[in-house]
Amino acid sequence: MAQRSQFVDYVKINCKSGRGGIGSSHFYRDRRTTKGGPDGGDGGRGGHVIVRGSKNLWTLLEFRYTKHVKAGHGENGSGKEATGSQGVDLILEVPLGTIIKDGETGEYMFEITDDGEERVILQGGKGGLGNTHFKSSTNQSPRYAQPGEDGQEEWRILELKVLADVGLVGFPNAGKSTLLSVLSAAKPKIADYEFTTLVPNLGIVKYRDHRSFIMADIPGIIEGAAEGKGIGHRFLRHIERNSTLLFMVPSDANDIKKEYEILLNELRKFNPELLDKNRLLAITKIDMLDDELVEEMKQDLPKGVEAVFISSVAQLGLAELKDKLWDLMNQDLE
C-alpha cells in the first residue's frame, strides 16, 4: 500500500492571490520645504499563484495535505514616489502533464507540458496609485490615493495525466509490469494477482544509436472501466497522453480476438479519439508455446492491427517489438 500512497493524480486546492499594496498619500517635506507637492508612491502588486512544470516530479503528492495556498501581499507605497515591493509569488511545482481546471465548474483552463513552463492560476491584486497621479491644475494637493485591489480566492483542480511515448494496455496479469522491468531500469511491483500495479510506472527504454523512448505501465483495465469499475477512469485518464498504445494479450487467453475487442471497446466508450492513436498488439508469454502453435495462432489474430509475439521472461521478440514501436512513434514525422 505504500506504493499507492505515493502516487496522487488528482487534487483540489483553494488558491488565494495577494492583495495589492495601498497607494501613498504623501507630500514632499524637508528642512526647506514645508508645503511640497504630492509624492506618494504606488502600492506593490499582490503576489500571483503560479504553476511551474518540473520534469523531476511524477506525482501531486505534495498537495495531498495542502488544501489552501496563499501568495504574499504587496507592500504599501511611500513618499518620494517609492513604489511598494510586489507580493511574493507562490509557485507550485507540478509534474509534466498536469491539467488545471476551474474548481467550481470543472472547466479546462490549461495544461503544463514543458519543464520550467509557468502559468498563472490567479492574478495578484493591482497596487493602488499614489496621490501623485491625481494632481491636476485644479487640485494641486490631492490627498486621495487608491487602495490596493483585493487578491482573488478560488478553487482549482490539478489533474495529472502521465506523459509517455508508449502506453501499455491490457487486462491485469497481461505481463505489462514484467515487460517494463525487462526493457527498462524501472522496478514495478510484479505478482500473479489482479491489480498488482495500482499506480503508473514509467521506464526509459533504450533503443538503437543511443536513442530512447518512455514507456508507461498503467493499472490493468477491466471490462466496465469506462463506467468507473475497478480503477476505471484513473487508468483511462493516463492513456490519453500516450502517442502509441501497445495492447498486450497473453497467449493463454481463452479468446485473443475477444480480449482485444473488449480493450478497444473500453477505450472507445471513454474517449473515441483514443482509437486514432497508433496501435500494436503484443501476444505475450510465448515461451509456453512451440513454433507450430505460434504459426497456428497467427492465422486467427484480430484484423486491423499489426501483431508481434513476445516473451519478456525468455526475452523473445523484444528487439522486433522495439523496432515496430519506434516506427509507429515516428511515422507521423516522416
User: Of 214, 213, 221, which is closest to residue 197 (Cα–Cα)?
Assistant: 221
- Residue 234: predicted pLDDT: 57
Class of domain 166-333 (CATH, top level): alpha beta
Tell me the residue type at 106.
G
38 beta partners: 27
pLDDT of residue 325: 94
Spatial neighbors of 236 by CB under 8 A, at least 6 apart, are 221, 225, 226, 266, 267, 270, 271
Measured CA to CA, the distance from residue 200 to residue 236 in angstroms comes to: 11
CA dihedral 248, 249, 251, 252 (to 10 degrees): 140
Cα 133 to Cα 100: distance, rounded to the nearest angstrom? 38
pLDDT in tens, 249-266: 998 888 899 999 988 988
Separation CA 180–CA 307 (nearest Å): 18
pTM attached to this predicted model: 0.66
The ranges assigned to domains in the chain are 2-160, 166-333
- Residue 210: φ, ψ to 5°: 65, 20
Query: Would you tell me which CATH number, out of the four given (2.40.50.140, 2.70.210.12, 1.10.10.10, 2.160.10.10), belongs to the domain 2-160?
Result: 2.70.210.12
**Residue 188: predicted pLDDT:** 45
Residue ranges of the chain with per-residue pLDDT less than 50 = 1-5, 188-198, 223, 225-226, 229-232, 334
Nearest to 82 by CA among 133, 135, 44: 44
